[in-house]
Structure 1
Amino acid sequence: MRDSRELAGAWSRFQSHGFVPPPPDLADLVSRYWWARWNLRGEPDYVQLIVPYPSVQLTLSTDAPPLVRGVCRGRIRRTLSGRAAVFGVTFRPGVFRRFLNAPVDSITDRAVPATTVFGEDLPAPDPAALLDTDPPAAAETMATELGRLLRARRPPDDPVGDEVAGWVSDIAATPDLRRVDHLTSRYGVGARRLQRLFAEHVGISPKWVIRRFRLHEVTQRMATRAAAEPIDWAALAFELGYADQAHLVRDFTNMFGEPPTSYAARY
Structure 2
Amino acid sequence: MAGQRGPRRDTRGIVDAPELFAHVQFRRREPAPALRPYLEHYWLIDWDLPQPYASHLVPHPSVNLVFERYPGCGDEEAGYAEVSGIGLELFTQKLEARGRVCGVQFRPGGFRPFAPGAPVSRWTGRRLPVAEVFAPPAPASAVLDPADEDERVAALDAYLLALGPGPDPRAERAMALVDLVRTDRTVLRVDALARAEGVSVRSLQRLFAAYVGVGPKWVILRYRIHEALERAGSDPAVDWAGLAADLGYSDQAHLVRDFTATIGVPPTALTAP
TM-score above 0.5: yes
Q: Which amino acid aligns with 1:103?
A: P
Q: Distance in 1 between matches of 2:266 and 2:156?
A: 37
> Aligned residue for 2:210?
200
Residue 134 of structure 2 corresponds to residue 84 of structure 1: no
Q: Which amino acid aligns with 1:77?
A: T
1:54 partner SS: coil
Task: State the shift of 1:112 in Å.
Answer: 0.9
Q: Distance in 2 between matches of 1:36 and 1:264?
A: 26
2:206 partner SS: helix
Instruction: Provide TM-score, normalisation by structure 1.
Output: 0.85
Residue 87 of structure 2 corresponds to residue 72 of structure 1: yes
1:234 partner SS: helix
Q: Distance in 1 between matches of 2:242 and 2:154?
A: 45
> Aligned residue for 1:127?
144
Deviations 1:191-238 (A, max 9, x none): 11111111111111110101111222223334554xxx5111111111
Which residues in structure 2 correspond to 1:1-267 (within 5 Å)?
A: 9-41=18-50, 43=51, 45-63=52-70, 64=73, 65-100=80-115, 101-124=117-140, 125-129=142-146, 133=147, 138-225=148-235, 230-264=237-271
Task: State the shift of 1:186 in Å.
Answer: 1.1
Runs of 5+ in structure 1 lacking a partner? 1-5
2:166 partner SS: coil
More displaced 10-residue stretch of structure 1: 194-203 or 216-225: 216-225
- 1:11/1:121 Cα in 2 relative to 1: closer, same or farther (>3 Å)? closer
Task: State the shift of 1:74 in Å.
Answer: 1.3
Task: State the shift of 1:75 in Å.
Answer: 0.9
1:258 partner SS: coil
Q: Distance in 1 between matches of 2:149 and 2:222?
A: 28
* Richer in helix (by share): 1
Task: State the shift of 1:179 in Å.
Answer: 1.0
Q: Distance in 1 between matches of 2:210 and 2:24?
A: 35
Q: Distance in 2 between matches of 1:93 and 1:155?
A: 15
CA RMSD of aligned residues (A): 2.2
| Contact 2:233 2:270 (8 Å CA) reproduced | no
- 1:250/1:141 Cα in 2 relative to 1: closer, same or farther (>3 Å)? same
| Contact 2:62 2:108 (8 Å CA) reproduced | yes
- 1:149/1:128 Cα in 2 relative to 1: closer, same or farther (>3 Å)? closer
Structure 1: 4+ residue segments shifted above 6 A: none
Deviations 1:76-112 (A, max 9, x none): 1122222111010001111212222201111111011
Q: Distance in 2 between matches of 1:190 and 1:7?
A: 39
Identity %: 38
Deviations 1:21-40 (A, max 9, x none): 22332111111000112223
Runs of 5+ in structure 2 lacking a partner? 1-14, 74-79
| Contact 1:87 1:139 (8 Å CA) reproduced | no
- 1:168/1:230 Cα in 2 relative to 1: closer, same or farther (>3 Å)? same
Q: Distance in 2 between matches of 1:140 and 1:262?
A: 39
Give the number of equivalent residue pairs: 249
